Structure 1
Amino acid sequence: MEVKLSQKAQAELGTLMVNTPDLIHLLSLLPKENLSEYPLLQKELTSKHPNSRSYNKALKNKTFTKEEFRDRIFARLDVFAYEMAVNLNTDYLVERVSLIVGADIARIDELEINEIGADVLQRILTDLSTDVCKQIQPKGDHPFLAERGRIDHGFWRHADKAYNAYIDGYNTQASLDAWCQLNLHTRCPQSFIRWLKTYGNPKEIAEWMSYVA
């Protein structure tokens, strides 16, 4: 496969190619399946990485155990999950739990998976998984934050209304465009439906909420 790069991109690639430590570090962070054709390289990228060696040395010296290291990771993931969850619409979860415990808030600590329900837990986990992608998506991918080109702020500041119209059945470009002209007095961008299929409700996107604040 031939890829044509700009001169600046070629220069950056050249710098990376001659800077072996940086290149090795980047390769070590790739998903393993991306290096499946290079098993020896894949193995040594991990085993000979300075951080892998320092980690194994700490285990050997009993600075901490593997379980303690794992638990610290999970504790950090708990923080990530909470910070994302409080910004999601979780009314369905609150409603389910309230039906089980009523006013006995202390009982929440004793709930079992089957009491909350696999369907509810799967939904919250799916929502969190989707939100992870939104969190790491470059801001420039949101049209209303683009630094170049013409931005129709008259539309994007009311993207939540266009989203509701889409949910209500105006789910083709032509019908949604007609709705926007009638109700928002502007056209619906060609990219909007594709954008909302990726990101969902604008009101659940932190960047959009900051944009309209």
Structure 2
Amino acid sequence: MDDKAKRQLGELLVDQDKLLEVLSANTQALDEYPELQQHLLLKSQNSIAFRKALRDKTFTKEEYRDAILLRLDWIGYELASSLDLDFLIQRVAALVGSDLESIKTLSIQEIGEANLSKLLHMMGSHIIAHPESNKSRFPWQSVRGQANPAFWRRADLAFDMYQQGYNSHWKLNSAFKDKYDIPVPQSFVRFVRDYGDPRLIPEWTSWKEES
């Protein structure tokens, strides 16, 4: 460490407020100091803004939680789609056969606690083993070879067809493929329900302009 770096470190050590500001930028690095980590999390500007919004009844804690779960739901779907789920498919097929609608009402016990536990373990292992593949927020940003850019460039057209009544994957895929000769990913209907019109998503509009 050169003299300039030592001087800057010394300035931080004697200026506690500045030191806390620097540390708060990466609280995950403070796992070995849980009390300090918790203090910084509670004192961050975003945490203060969150508590103020609760007091002002901008939203409820339950609504905030539901927004988190909605995002995790999509992340979980994206992660699981990249895994080999034949064991799960075979289990469900043995239960419902060709009755696709019955899948929606299967219980944890019917799917199997061991199967669900295995799935969660696989997802966790994938996150740890492939951190670089978990950075995409939207399907067209995927780096796992599943982005399907030919379709996502026309996602606005697929959304319009969805609004016209083609609101199941089977209907939308058939109509869109007939018109544009491009299949619709199974995740698209879910995407529409979660995010709506892609034209209202800045990440999509900028990606389309650049691609």
* CA offsets 1:25-83 (integer angstroms, 9 cap, x no match): 2353446x5214xx3x4453133211111000000011000011011111111111111
CA distance in 1, matches of 2:54, 2:105: 35
Mapping of residues 28-107 of structure 1, within 5 Å: 28-30=27-29, 33-36=31-34, 39=35, 41-107=36-102
Report percent identity of matched pairs: 32
* CA offsets 1:117-148 (integer angstroms, 9 cap, x no match): 1111111110001111133259xxxxxxxxxx
Residues 107 and 42 (structure 1 numbering): CA distance in 2 closer, same or farther, change over 3 Å? same
The equivalent residue for 2:108 is 113
Paired residues, number: 129
Cα RMSD of the aligned pairs, angstroms, is 3.1
Which amino acid letter does the alignment assign opposite residue 33 of structure 2? L
CA distance in 2, matches of 1:22, 1:137: 28
Q: CA deviation at 1:21?
A: 6.3
The equivalent residue for 2:24 is 25
CA contact (8 A) 1:85 1:128 kept: yes
CA contact (8 A) 1:101 1:107 kept: yes
The equivalent residue for 1:126 is 121
CA distance in 2, matches of 1:85, 1:63: 34
CA contact (8 A) 1:16 1:23 kept: no
| Structure 2 unmatched ranges of 5 or more | 134-142, 146-211
CA distance in 2, matches of 1:49, 1:97: 46
The equivalent residue for 2:172 is none
The TM-score with structure 2 as length reference comes to 0.52
The TM-score with structure 1 as length reference comes to 0.52
CA distance in 1, matches of 2:104, 2:127: 26
CA contact (8 A) 2:27 2:41 kept: yes
Task: Report the secondary structure of 1:34's partner residue.
Answer: coil
The equivalent residue for 2:201 is none
Higher relative contact order (CA 8 A, sep 6+): 1
| Higher Rg | 1
| Structure 1 unmatched ranges of 5 or more | 1-5, 139-204, 208-213
The equivalent residue for 2:182 is none
Which amino acid letter does the alignment assign opposite residue 43 of structure 2? K
Residues 118 and 104 (structure 1 numbering): CA distance in 2 closer, same or farther, change over 3 Å? same
* CA offsets 1:90-128 (integer angstroms, 9 cap, x no match): 001000000000111000000000001111111111000
